[in-house]
Amino acid sequence: MKKWLVLVWLLAPVALLSYHYGPGQQAVAWQAARRHYERALRLEADGRFDEAQAAYHDSQQALPRGDDDETPTPIKTASSQLRLAEARMQLRQGQLANSLQALRGLLSDVQREHGELAPVTLETRELLGEAHYSAMVALRLEAAERDVWMRHWELARQQYRRLAEQSPASRNARDRENLEVVIKSFQRQTVNTQAASAATNVNTAGLDVALTPPPPDAPGTGPPVLNDARPRPPSPDAPTPVANEFDLGN
């Protein structure tokens, strides 16, 4: 019995070290990530988006680490959600080019790690569409050339179209509404007041760089064709219109 007690006493530090460098270390990492996350939420609610961005980044960096193949799914999901939150803070600060770059990379990663219809993938695609739409509005307000802002319009349409075609019923109505807003924005000669207000205080630097055009088989149709409705004089070969009873009078 005495020998067993001595063995237990000798193995106790080993067990504590194993816990510390195993589950215990992961628990500490989760707690640190949660503290940063809760702080980020408070900062975002106060409109301090630059500080919230840093806090979301700190939370993502504090998550437990492991090999990519061995990282548990909850950690991967939390990491993707925090990267998405960080990109959202960039967009709220008007850093359009930076947020677009971050979101394009994130979308590629979440599609591979979580699947096309995972909630984090749908949320990333939605925010990417919002970023392209904001870029289109900002460029139109700056009287950028049509080809420049049209690239962002088309990429916004493509993201929302894909969401409208694939998203579950719980969010599909919102996705269809967003798609309708984007399509109607093309037909307006000027940017509406609400969109213009959202596009103030943004940085459009880098938005005129060449973007990868959508593939020919991208979901949805191309941009609508605007018909010129201005009156034109009749051509010589045009038939004479027949007057109706209202034109002839009584």
Residue 68 sits at the vertex; the CA angle it makes with 66 and 73, to the nearest 5 degrees, is 85
List strand residue ranges (DSSP E) for 2-155, in order.
Answer: none
Position of tokens 């979308």?
107
Q: Contacts for 223-229 with beta carbons within 8 Å, 24 or more apart?
A: 223/150, 223/153, 223/154, 223/157, 223/186, 224/183, 224/186, 224/187, 226/186, 226/187
Give the pLDDT confidence score for residue 92 in this predicted structure: 96
Give the pLDDT confidence score for residue 65 in this predicted structure: 80
Per-residue pLDDT 10s for the chain (250 aa) are: 554 444 334 444 434 334 444 567 888 889 999 999 999 999 999 999 999 999 999 999 999 886 555 667 889 999 999 999 999 999 999 999 999 999 999 999 999 999 999 999 999 999 999 999 999 999 999 888 999 999 999 999 999 999 999 999 999 999 999 999 999 988 765 555 444 444 456 777 777 654 544 554 555 545 444 444 444 555 566 565 554 444 444 3
Give the pLDDT confidence score for residue 167 in this predicted structure: 95
- Cα 33 to its chain centre, rounded Å, is 23
Handedness of CA 188, 194, 197, 198 (dihedral sign): negative
Handedness of CA 27, 61, 118, 43 (dihedral sign): positive
- Taking the C-alpha atoms of residue 105 and residue 83, their distance in angstroms, rounded to an integer, is 10
Give the pLDDT confidence score for residue 27 in this predicted structure: 84
